A and B are shown apart, each in its own frame.
Chain A
Amino acid sequence: MKTSLLTLSIALALGLGMTTAQAADAVTVKIGQSSPLTGPQAHIGKDNDNGVRLAIDEINATKPTIGGKVVTFEVMSEDDQADPKTATIVAQRMVDEEIAGVIGHLNSGATIPASKVYSDNNVPQISPSATAIKYTAQGFKTAYRVMTNDEQQGKVLGAYAAKLGKKVAIIDDQTAYGQGLAAEVEKAAKAAGAEVVAVEHTNDKATDFTAILTSIKGKAPDVIFFGGMDPQGAPMAKQMRQLGIKAQFLGGDGMQTPKFIELAGADAEGAIASIPGLPLDKMPKGTDFKQKFEAKYGQIQLYAPYAYDAAYVMVDAMKRADSTDPEKYLPELAKTSYEGVTGKISFDAKGDLTSGPITLYTVKGGKWETLETIQP
């Protein structure tokens, strides 16, 4: 939910007024949030937005004092349409509004080009959901994430696939997410001693996978891993059943959705998929978060807990630095050690999570149930 034009202009006027006249005891600090708020991923984007808002509302309620002033945080939310070009425009817009930091973006494809704008302007960025390895590998000291990257998740999934069976087949949807994850799973499965018998590809608009599944069936794999999203995963599960393929179906976080079960129906049974982090009910503050979030915004879609944590991590660094100035709190951000609702958060030199537990879920009786949590 973006701030309405009216409140935005009022806030702007107030903000300007405050910084000049009333700067003595209270200030307003803007935190940016950007994700696709329109388009096919709008529901996931809005989820991120809600996560950030919940965190900021809670923080504001405690009336935090930073640098001797009571700080009120304000969320500036911008729609990047999951489009690389639009992402740079909204990044620029938020930088112009002198945000103190940004939680975003959702997709790797939007996060990477935007990260350049933030880095150029020295604005700290925490992505709650971008998984592409490249995001933090660009050498930007402003780029962080509270989500495991493809390599971290791929390692766990690859090792798990090798544990499920000796012969692994891999399919990806040739998107930045699917291909990135599948490539890492392939490496890890091989490293764990499994034989990768087939690597096939499809795309994120396809619905017919019979040709690739048939050729995979000829190689008799024990496990089929799919790097991609639920609209492809579901018909894939169906067609595996149709073709009489008995292999275990395994996927990443793009497949661990209620939609997957809805679309695949009975054929979803037994599929396994992972999500980074611990299951919410296992976390000390998890159930509490779930209740608060659902009371306010309804069902959690996907990454809201990560967005929520990201906002807390950013404010936490500001508190420790006793400043909302990026120049001052950025070094503190690097030293983060924070117990969030998704797990313990600390960063390595690149800005990636140092440890990231991955939880595996399986479809049982038409619902995702926790299978096990793997600590890398």
Chain B
Amino acid sequence: MDIFAQQLVNGLVLGSVYALVALGYTLVYGILELINFAHGETTMMGAMISITVIGAMVGVAPDLPGVIIVLTGLLVAIPSCMLLGYSIERVAYRPLRHAPRLAPLITAIGLSIVLQNVAMLIWGKQYIAFPTTLLPQGRHEIFGATITDVQIMILVLTVTLMAGLVTMVNRTRLGRAMRATAQAPAVAQLMGVNINAVISATFVIGAGLAAIAGVMVSANYGQAHYHMGFLLGLKAFSAAVLGGIGNLTGAMLGGMLLGIIEALGAGYIGALTGGFLGSHYQDIFAFMVLILVLTLKPSGLLGSKSVERA
């Protein structure tokens, strides 16, 4: 096995998880310039809901093919998270749309804590297992690196969703309305765009993405926990910033890059620093990237024009 190739694959898989979550961040940020802190928690909710549904399905109809059961879990998780995303926007962000910037940010943090604790009350404090045996368990060798079926699924899904979103934003009426709202809400409104509806739609789509990400993450690692969304969300946000916040392709690129940085970093930092730094600094890379990008090139790699205020 080629170590380097394997680390690249590790990074790509990790990165596509970040990318999936980052898409949701960047979508909302692109329109509202708001860090939806609760996005990571929506991801967690998606994972939890799908596991619950899957568990119930296995109990009721154990003979169904595993993929169908997981798909059902996903199909329940997506609308549930969409509803959650819609409510979050209505309850916590919309009343503060014209308040100073500090206000929605503090609400976002508060919401994130609320969602974590609600999840803890519902699903308990322990990690819960995702029945991974339901999904194909194949392993494949490419260029001397191993990759599993689930990991390939994650990669394909990330790229497909990203492409789908880009098409939607550029080609559809809703997409045009979203772009208009992002650029100049007041003007968009004068031109007949119902910006409340557009913003709601953005949150709903973002939450749907989060649900998919949550299911994929828990399927890949075989477990879920009420706390899983927070750090994931932070790293995904860093990825979105790295790629250029507000830019969908950038979010994917940033996610992949961050994943690779983390994998290669954790794999080689010991050798590079002569043993001074070790793999325990893995979590630092995301924050370092964040700080470096924001101070040196706030618009990120593929910066969109909407970021002028950083």
Contacts and interface: CB of A to CB of B under 8 A. Distances in A.
* Chains A and B touch each other in the complex, with CB atoms below 8 Å apart: yes
Given A203-B283, A217-B3, A243-B146, A211 B262 contact: yes
A202 B278 CA distance: 10
Given A234-B222, A263-B223, A212 B267 contact: yes
A238 interface: yes
Contacts of B278: 199-201
B52 interface: no
B133 interface: yes
Q: Which one of B125, B131, B263, B266 has the highest number of Cβ atoms from chain A below 10 Å of its Cβ?
A: B266
Interface in A159-218: 174, 199-203, 205-208, 210-212, 214-215, 217-218
Nearest to A241: B139
A266 interface: yes
Interface stretch (B5-13, B82-90, B302-310): B5-13
Contacts of A235: 221-223
Contacts of A41: 125
A265 B222 contact: yes
Interface string B175-197: 00000000000000000000000
Interface in B124-139: 125-127, 129, 131-133, 139
B272 to A, nearest CB: 12
Contacts of A217: 1, 3, 6
B60 to A, nearest CB: 20
Interface residues of A, number: 36
Contacts of A259: 126-127
A7 interface: no
A208 B222 CA distance: 11
Nearest to B221: A207
Contacts of B131: 265
A123 to B, nearest CB: 30
Given A208-B14, A215-B3, A40 B126 contact: yes
B228 interface: yes
A243 B132 contact: no
Given A217-B3, A262-B129, A212 B222 contact: no
B72 interface: no
Contacts of B221: 207-208, 235, 238
Interface string A348-361: 00000000000000
A207 B223 contact: yes
A239 B14 CA distance: 13
Contacts of A376: none
Contact of A215 (B11, B129, B225, B268): B268
Contact of A203 (B133, B223, B280): B280
B227 interface: yes
- The SS class assigned to the B binding surface is helix
Contact of A207 (B126, B228, B283): B228
A231 B127 contact: yes
A265 B132 contact: yes
B231 A234 contact: no
Contacts of B265: 211
A231 B225 contact: yes
Contacts of B127: 230-231, 234, 259, 263
Q: Which of A40, A202, A208, A259 has the most CB of B within 10 A?
A: A208
B148 interface: yes
Given A210-B10, A215-B7, A217-B1, A242 B268 contact: no
Interface string B33-77: 000000000000000000000000000000000000000000000
A67 interface: no
B103 to A, nearest CB: 29
Nearest to A266: B133
A331 interface: no
A42 interface: yes
A238 B135 CA distance: 14
A143 to B, nearest CB: 29
Contacts of B107: none
A43 B127 CA distance: 13
B223 A214 contact: no
Contact of A39 (B10, B125, B148): B125
Contact of B222 (A43, A206, A263): A263
A244 B146 contact: yes
A90 interface: no
A205 B233 CA distance: 13
A270 B294 CA distance: 47
A93 B280 CA distance: 38
A174 B280 contact: yes
B223 A231 contact: yes
B280 A210 contact: no
Contacts of A304: none
Nearest to A257: B126
Contacts of A238: 132, 221-222
A239 to B, nearest CB: 8
A40 B125 contact: yes
Interface string A274-285: 000000000000
19 contacts: A40-B126, A43-B125, A201-B280, A206-B283, A207-B221, A208-B10, A210-B263, A211-B262, A211-B266, A211-B267, A212-B266, A214-B7, A215-B3, A230-B127, A231-B225, A235-B223, A242-B148, A244-B146, A265-B222
Given A200-B279, A211-B10, A215-B267, 4 more contacts: A199-B278, A202-B280, A215-B270, A234-B223
